[in-house]
Structure 1
Amino acid sequence: MSRTDIALVTLPPPLAADQLSCEAAEALAFILPLSTEYPNIEEWFCGKVAPGIQNGTRHLLRIERDGRLVGLGIAKSSPFEKKICTVRIAPEYVGKGLGVRIFDGLLHWLGTDQPHLTVSEKKLPAYERIFEWYGFKLTSKSRGLYLPSVTEVRYNDPSRKLNSTISE
């Protein structure tokens, strides 16, 4: 299917937080305090991630230590987009290689080494080394994508030409 084809996709209805599986509820509880810069993340998780996990268009990769969730990644695969949606690591595990394990697992599930992803310019320093390691290509910047005064940096965006005009 090409980008010009129109596909009708029936999405399942959003789930309420109390309807989530135990694994999804634990993942949501884990990402909430680590995602304060992204408004409505609970709505996104219940409305898109949880139903996508059920229908196979999203994948949640968990990393545990001593039975406790310490890192996770969420990816989305559709005919139009292969995207790493979120990667979160518990603060006490940052810098211990979990990010690489998560990226490797998500790239394997997506079947690509150049997925689309965005990161807040404020958080970019924490991700620059791993993006460089994987050869991700900066494609654009967008101010106000999630918050009015914050710039989101886009990598490997198939809808944008490499090094196209970067607007803020």
Structure 2
Amino acid sequence: MNIEILRDRPFSEGSGVIGYPELPRLIDRKYLGSNPDAFQNLLPRIFDHLSELSGYYPGFDEWLNKKVLPGLMSGERSILLEYRRGDLSGLAIVKDDESEQKLCCLRVLPPYQGTGVGLKLFERSFEVLNNDSPLLSIAEEQLVVFRKIFQYYGFEFAKIYPDYYRPFKAELSFNGLIESDSSFSLLKPSTGFQLPKFRKSTHG
């Protein structure tokens, strides 16, 4: 059964309360079981805040509807939300199943970038997964944004995947592999992208 997320009632940043009786910090199977109306009233508004990431990942909306939503219902995925003064400031999606523990995506809303929201979401993701080095991947353009954070946490660069999601653009994995196919290599893509060189952080 395919369940589609409806997006007919988006909410704007800085709007305060997001049109729901309470502001949950974690949306998972337990929360949805107790709040079934969240499928229509809350999740569409949350998913809208992830739309900026679709530029890096073609088919992102389909992934939300066909992977994230069923994963929330099965218990293998959770959404973490952060707020500042009652406004949504950032959110992350994590996956925890028998095959992998993964930080699937993380977004800090523009007004709150550089305020520590991202670090808070990383820390909370580690707690939910019970793992401080979960698998994750980023588009090559995002390396400049995440480099210091990844270094702080001692994330280990694992592999580069040229043309993985988009032609002539690479996807970088950390703390593990997103694709075990040996046809993917550590060769630099033709865009001139440089492989990251991290040192282990002293972060405990």
Q: State the TM-score bracket (shorter-chain normalisation).
A: 0.7 to 0.9
RMSD over aligned CA atoms reads: 2.0
Write out aligned runs for 1:55-70 (5 A).
55-70=74-89
Residue among 47, 53, 60 paired with 1:28:
47
Report the Cα distance in structure 2 between the residues aligned to 1:61 and 1:21, rounded to whole angstroms.
18
Extract unaligned runs of 5+ from structure 2.
8-38, 190-204
Report the Cα distance in structure 2 between the residues aligned to 1:150 and 1:57, rounded to whole angstroms.
29
Report the Cα distance in structure 2 between the residues aligned to 1:50 and 1:24, rounded to whole angstroms.
9
Q: What is aligned with 1:9?
A: none
More divergent stretch after superposition (19-28 vs 133-142): 19-28
- How many equivalent pairs are there? 153
Deviation at 1:34, TM superposition (A): 4.2
Q: What is aligned with 1:87?
A: 106
The answer to whether residue 173 in structure 2 is matched with residue 154 in structure 1 is: yes
Identity %: 30
Q: What is aligned with 2:14?
A: none
Deviation at 1:144, TM superposition (A): 1.4
Q: Is the 8 A contact 1:14 1:48 kept in 2?
A: no
Q: Is the 8 A contact 2:53 2:60 kept in 1?
A: no
Report the Cα distance in structure 2 between the residues aligned to 1:99 and 1:73, rounded to whole angstroms.
9
The answer to whether residue 35 in structure 2 is matched with residue 16 in structure 1 is: no
Change (3 A) 1:66 1:14: farther
Deviation at 1:18, TM superposition (A): 2.2
Q: Is the 8 A contact 1:76 1:85 kept in 2?
A: yes
Q: Specify the SS of the correspondent of 2:160.
A: strand
Deviation at 1:17, TM superposition (A): 1.8
Per the normalisation by structure 2, the TM-score is 0.69
Q: Is the 8 A contact 1:72 1:102 kept in 2?
A: yes
Change (3 A) 1:123 1:43: same
Per the normalisation by structure 1, the TM-score is 0.83
Q: Is the 8 A contact 1:24 1:50 kept in 2?
A: no
Q: What is aligned with 1:8?
A: none
Q: What is aligned with 1:51?
A: 70
